[in-house]
Structure 1
Amino acid sequence: MNTPLTEDLTTVFRDVMAGVCTPVTVVTALDGDRPHGTTVSAFASLSMDPPMVLVALDRGSDLLTVVRGQGRFGVNILGHGQDGLALTFARKGPDKFAGVAWSLSAGAPRITGAPGWVACTVADLVDGGDHVVVLGHVAEADRHDRPPLTYHRRTFGTHSAEQE
């Protein structure tokens, strides 16, 4: 049963979740020859055998419509200093890829310079409140050593190892 959150609980929950450090990714899909993408912080590995990930997409997003239709998507895991890309893909509108270098990799748009890449085929779509959780079988993965871009307390940053 879904119980609506009270305004106070919604505010507190939002503040609690702002305190959770999350990776910053741009999830992409191709609609014909037109790339689509959006910034997503709800991304995680799900399984190693078989390799799977999950991303949460807003129910009303154009990207979700494309992912449903194409059955594949890419996850561009952003690195330190790529907050401009995160902001570009967080906005609404059809021209997010204007001026952004990308290539097609395993059927999904791969942003040039993103230090992490995972291409997936859709395994399942699961309702999750105002979002849909997309479960993906990993078809391709690649990485380059670079500190990650993270989001914490509504601010972009990075991770550094704790010094002893």
Structure 2
Amino acid sequence: MDRAQTFDSRQFRSALGHFASGITIVTAATSQGAVGFTCQSFTSLSLDPPLVALAPGKSSTSWPRIREAGCFCVNVLSETQEDVCLAFATSGADKFAGIPWAPGACGAPRLPGALAYIECELSGAYDAGDHELVIGTVLDIETRPGKPLLFYRGGFNRLEV
């Protein structure tokens, strides 16, 4: 059935902005050094086997390097890491300048202060409009106490409990 679209891209973006999401930094270690990007399009996918999904934009200059590495770490940001989020959201900058990190099990950077580290092996990447849908097989995890940094309706928010 062919249905006409009754909304524009601005309305679509606004509607999706009503869904609160956590914020992550996806990182990898490459022969050219550490690479990473801010990603709020992240979700759990399967418990058995343990899989996650993320959706980097096709315009990303960091994602191709991470894809080539084949192994990546999803750093789930805490409510105190707005500055880290913004640093990794900047295109063309040295995103790791002034940000310490330690290599995880597969060498991908783990950022201090993150609530969780989810290290993955790339299982597949699929065309999805102006993004790719990426599936990662979880290899290692670590969690810490704290509250997440949230994104809602175009801005940072904190969980009030």
Does the TM-score normalized on the shorter chain lie above 0.5?
A: yes
* Cα displacement string for residues 21-62 of structure 1 (whole angstroms, at most 9, x for unaligned residues): 001000111111511111110000001111110111111222
Cross-structure match for 2:143:
143
3-state SS of the aligned residue for 2:147? coil
Greater shift, 42-51 or 60-69, is seen at 60-69
What 5-or-longer segments of structure 2 have no aligned partner? Answer: none
Aligned residues: 158
1-structure distance, mates of 2:62, 2:72: 9
Task: Summarize the alignment of residues 1-164 of structure 1 with structure 2, pairs less than 5 Å apart.
Answer: 8-32=7-31, 34-107=33-106, 108-161=108-161
1-structure distance, mates of 2:6, 2:56: 23
Q: CA deviation at 1:86?
A: 0.6
2-structure distance, mates of 1:98, 1:79: 19
TM-score (norm 2): 0.92
Greater shift, 69-78 or 59-68, is seen at 59-68
2-structure distance, mates of 1:69, 1:112: 24
Contact kept, 8 Å, 2:35 with 2:66, in 1: the verdict is no
2-structure distance, mates of 1:153, 1:55: 20
2-structure distance, mates of 1:96, 1:105: 18
Q: After TM superposition, which residue ranges in structure 1, 4 or more long, deviate above 4 angstroms?
A: 5-8
1-structure distance, mates of 2:6, 2:39: 24
3-state SS of the aligned residue for 1:62? coil
* Cα displacement string for residues 102-149 of structure 1 (whole angstroms, at most 9, x for unaligned residues): 011022111111111100001111111111111000001011010001
* Cα displacement string for residues 56-79 of structure 1 (whole angstroms, at most 9, x for unaligned residues): 111122222112211111100001
Contact kept, 8 Å, 1:24 with 1:77, in 2: the verdict is yes
2-structure distance, mates of 1:88, 1:98: 9
3-state SS of the aligned residue for 1:121? strand
Contact kept, 8 Å, 1:58 with 1:132, in 2: the verdict is yes
* Counterpart residue identity of residue 16, structure 1: A
Identical residues among aligned pairs (%):
34
Contact kept, 8 Å, 1:29 with 1:63, in 2: the verdict is no
Contact kept, 8 Å, 1:104 with 1:110, in 2: the verdict is yes
CA RMSD after TM alignment: 1.8
